[in-house]
Structure 1
Amino acid sequence: MASFAHDHPFDPAYGRTLDDLVRIPAPDDAPGDFEAFWRARHREARAVTTAPEVGPVEEERGGVRVHGVTFTSVGGARLGGWLALPVEGPAEHGFVIGHGYGGRQSAGSDVPLPLPGSAAILPCVRGMGSRSRLPGVPDEAARHVLHGIGSRDTYVIGDCVADLWCAASALQEVLPCLAGPGRLGYLGESLGGGLGALALPWDERFGAAQLTVPTFGSHPLRLTLPSVGSGESVRAHHREHPEVTEVLRYFDAATAAARLELPTLVAAALFDPVVPPPGQFAVHNALPGHRELMVLRAGHFAHEAGADESAGLVARREAFFGKWL
């Protein structure tokens, strides 16, 4: 069990040891039409004409030139982000890179990319980051995670998943050489990890994925665990509106992970005040295909070994995608 000095009024390790965490299952109450719901959402997103527009070069590093990019997602939303293109030669690999609930203000530490000769799209999902703010969609995590939560058809998390699918379409439109099954990799951390788990089971364009401290795992368990992340907003809302449980069943990352068969690397933390570790491990444990686990001492928490852990994760990521893409 990881332990750090902290000032939270709860235990960010939640009393679980690693042996406890690797035994946490996915929820056993998946809706009967869970797959039908997500496949319909996927078909809708794939039908969108994304019309990507690539801006001028904003920076060059890590073997890529980084451009601004905009594209259309479901509901006609025009979103933005960044596009990384190889400095030399055609793209041999493609990545869609999700972000956390802090949003994204630049390409940041996601460049350099995991493999040489790669291209990537780094979208800001709707409402988040500096390039995808939309009227009526909150840009602050505690309110964003509740937007439209009264119905599975209006919940913003479903639209954010669709934003990732549309980002993949935009990347393939810019680079047709990346079209086809299994040509893309996915990376996502925190919010991006949870969205990735929800998005990937239905999309044949992806060949491998890395999910780091993924959120939205096992909502029945998350609703019992205090945190300082977006999950606490959901917990508070649930206390006043217990019927929201029925909506959350469709947006459980562990339930989706149980249908995710492509090779997946999960980096899950033993101690995390923002995304409770039991939910993170529930995502990993549910995976039925090839899965790899990297155990982090802590997530969303600065500590002495943090830099070394981050470097180790970068090396593990490069080896993983080098094997599967």
Structure 2
Amino acid sequence: MGAHFTHEFPFDPAYGQTLDDLLHVGAPAAPEDFDAFWRAGYASALRVDPAPETGPLEEERDGVRIFAVSYTSVGGVRIGGRLVLPAEGPVEHGFVIGHGYGGRDAAGPDVPLPLPHSAALLPCVRGMGDRSLLPGIPGTADAHVLHGIGSRESYVIGACVADLWCAASALLALVPELDRRGGPGPGPGSGPVPGPGLGYLGESFGGGLGALALPWDARFAAGQLTVPTFGNHPLRLTLPCAGSGESVRAYHRAHPGVTDVLRYFDAATAATRVRVPVLVAAALFDPAVPPPGQFAVFNGLAGERELRVLSAGHFEHPGTESEVRELALARREFFARQNV
């Protein structure tokens, strides 16, 4: 599969890497208290009463009804998004679906859902999209990715991960028939979820957040990550790009000590703690999210894993539509085999 396209970027979005090279990109070692930091964050999110509120019906298509929804996340922040429910019949599966750094202004291509008879919560994490804009949090990717980056406690990425955990709590409150697991487990090494769990999907920004969220929350039984970001920060800091990572690179040049914070938000490091099955779609050519970081997430996964290799990510090319269709089919087949 080729990874070279005509483009006008001042760098090579394939970074001179072959597929074999990419399959050998590793994950950075975790800080000593990495697990403790994330377990504490997850415990805080579980203590939040999401108090979800469903708004009016916004759209009906593809066998589902789409409603406005809001819920409470850590810090008392109200998060907005969309709730997707079957138009007819019982709910048999549940999903939380993250979004890219472009935000989310509609349910868009996340519907249809991977499996029939599914419910899903599609949150706009804090500061993003048309539903979760907040005073003091920038709404653009290049500024959002730097918000609070001075410390691990204040970095917005940690709060965005918590928004996903609280989205799971909100979905289970809204669709109680999904709550069949007997309670969340303590994190990595806790064993399989007893009974069906939720599925997680995320692309780009949502893929990176998903990798950070999945290890600690046993309510999720499987995940699918497409061109995930935040993988292998030490390597990412050396690779120019057209995405949010370029803002982090610029900040790092002026504040080299930020590497101590980024170690806690490395999606590839977190992947080494993921025990549930995960399907990753990673690209050979991507100007926004460097492929070495994407493959670092896949390579780091500790549990059952599947890989779909894309020709390109964040880049329209003649094969884009066919690859999107093929990935949708692979996603459906993947989740059909999982305990969701």
What TM-score do you get using the length of structure 1 for normalisation? 0.99
Unaligned segments of structure 2, at least 5 residues: 182-192
SS of corresponding position for 1:186? strand
- Cα distance, 1:288 vs. partner? 1.3
Q: 1:257 aligns with which of 266, 271, 278?
A: 271
Partner Cα distance (1:189, 1:32) in 2? 29
Q: CA deviation at 1:89?
A: 1.7
C-alpha distance in 1, partners of 2:8/2:134?
35
Q: Please, what TM-score do these two structures have when normalized by structure 2?
A: 0.95
**Pairwise mapping of residues 59-208 of structure 1 onto structure 2 (< 5 A)?**
59-179=59-179, 180=181, 181=193, 182-208=196-222
CA-to-partner distance for each residue in 1:30-83, whole Å, 9 max, x for gaps?
A: 100000000000000011011000011111111110000000000000110000
CA distance in 1, matches of 2:46, 2:60: 31
The residue that corresponds to 2:15 in the other structure is 14
Instruction: Output the CA distance in 2 between the equivalents of 1:3 and 1:183.
Output: 40
Q: Is 2:28 aligned against 1:27?
A: yes
What SS does structure 2 have at the residue aligned with 1:104? coil
Q: Secondary structure at the match of 2:96?
A: strand
One-letter identity of the residue aligned with 1:43: A
* 3-state SS of paired residue (1:228): coil
Deviation digits for residues 231-281 of structure 1, max 9, x if unmatched? 000000000000000000000000000000100000000000000000000
Other-structure match for 1:291:
305
Give the drift of 1:90.
Answer: 1.9
1:79-104: per-residue Cα shift (whole Å, max 9, x none)? 10000001112210000000000000
- CA distance in structure 2 between the partners assigned to 1:211 and 1:59 by the alignment: 26
CA distance in structure 2 between the partners assigned to 1:129 and 1:83 by the alignment? 15
Is 1:223 the counterpart of 2:224? The answer is no
1:229 alignment partner, SS class: coil
Unaligned regions of 5+ residues in structure 1, if any? none
Partner of 2:284: 270
Equivalenced residues, count: 324
Q: Which amino acid aligns with 1:239?
A: R
In structure 1, the partner of 2:3 is 2
Distance 1:177 1:14 in 2: 47
Residue 184 of structure 2: aligned partner = none
CA–CA distance in structure 1, aligned partners of residues 85 and 124 of structure 2: 18
1:163 is displaced (CA, Å) by 0.2
The separation in 2 between residues aligned to 1:283 and 1:99, in whole angstroms, is 17
- Specify the code of the residue in structure 2 equivalent to 1:7: E
Aligned match of 1:213: 227
Shift in Å at residue 214 of structure 1?
0.1
Deviations 1:110-157 (A, max 9, x none): 000000000000000000000000110000000000000000000000
SS at match of 2:337: helix
Task: Tell me the amino acid that sits aligned with residue 15 of structure 2.
Answer: Y
- CA displacement at 1:183 relative to structure 2: 1.6
Deviations 1:181-236 (A, max 9, x none): 44200000000000000000000101110000000000000000000100000000
Q: Which residue of 1 aligns with 2:326?
A: 312
Deviations 1:5-33 (A, max 9, x none): 000000000000000000111013x1000
| Matched residue type, 1:209 | G
State the superposition RMSD in angstroms: 0.7
Distance 2:239 2:288 in 1: 10
1:242 aligns with 2:256: yes
Q: Distance in 2 between matches of 1:210 and 1:62?
A: 21
